[in-house]
Amino acid sequence: MNNILAILISLIVTTISLLIISKLPTGVEIDNVKKGFVSAIVFGVLNAVLHPILSFLTLPINFLTFGLFSLIVNGFIFGLAALLVQGFRLRWGLWSALIGAFALSIINSIIYKVLPFTVG
C-alpha cells in the first residue's frame, strides 16, 4: 500500500512539474491537466523501463563526460514521451526535450523538498 501511495504522489508531482514547465519559455507545450497527467504516466513508465537500459549502454560515454551524457538520455526519454502523448509537444525539438528534462529534474527536486514528508 505504501508503494502505491508513493507512485501516486510521484505522478502528481511530475504532473505539476510538467504543467509548470509548459508555462515557462522552454518550448514544452501541454494542452491541459489531463494531458499533463497522461504525460507523467508515460514519462514515468519510459523512465522506469528505458533509463536503466540506456544508462548501461551509454556507460562508457557517460563516464568520459563525467555524467553529463545522462542529460542526453533524460532528454531522449522526455522527447519520446512527447512523441507518444497527443497534446504534449516540443516546439524546438531536441532542444525543448533537453531543456524540459533538465527543468523537470529541478522542479521535481524543489517540490519534493517542500513536501512535509518523504516519499519512498
Q: How many domains does the chain have?
A: 1
- Assess if residue 89 is contained within a domain: yes
- Assess if residue 92 is contained within a domain: yes
Per residue in 3-49, pLDDT (tens digit) is 898 899 999 999 999 999 999 999 999 999 999 999 999 999 999 99
- CA 65 to CA 63: how far, in whole Å? 6
**Predicted local confidence at residue 2, as pLDDT:** 82
Q: Is the pLDDT of residue 91 over 80?
A: yes
- Assess if residue 12 is contained within a domain: yes
- Assess if residue 66 is contained within a domain: yes
Q: Is the pLDDT of residue 118 over 90?
A: no
The boundaries of the domain holding residue 50 are 2-114
- Assess if residue 120 is contained within a domain: no
**Predicted local confidence at residue 69, as pLDDT:** 95
- CA 72 to CA 24: how far, in whole Å? 21
**Predicted local confidence at residue 3, as pLDDT:** 87
Q: Is the pLDDT of residue 117 over 80?
A: no
- CA 100 to CA 118: how far, in whole Å? 25
- Assess if residue 119 is contained within a domain: no
- Assess if residue 84 is contained within a domain: yes
- Predicted TM-score (pTM) of this structure: 0.92
**Predicted local confidence at residue 108, as pLDDT:** 95
Query: Which residues, at least 6 apart from 11, have a Cβ–Cβ distance to it below 8 Å?
Result: 37, 40, 41, 44
Average pLDDT over residues 96-118: 93
**Predicted local confidence at residue 73, as pLDDT:** 96
- Assess if residue 67 is contained within a domain: yes
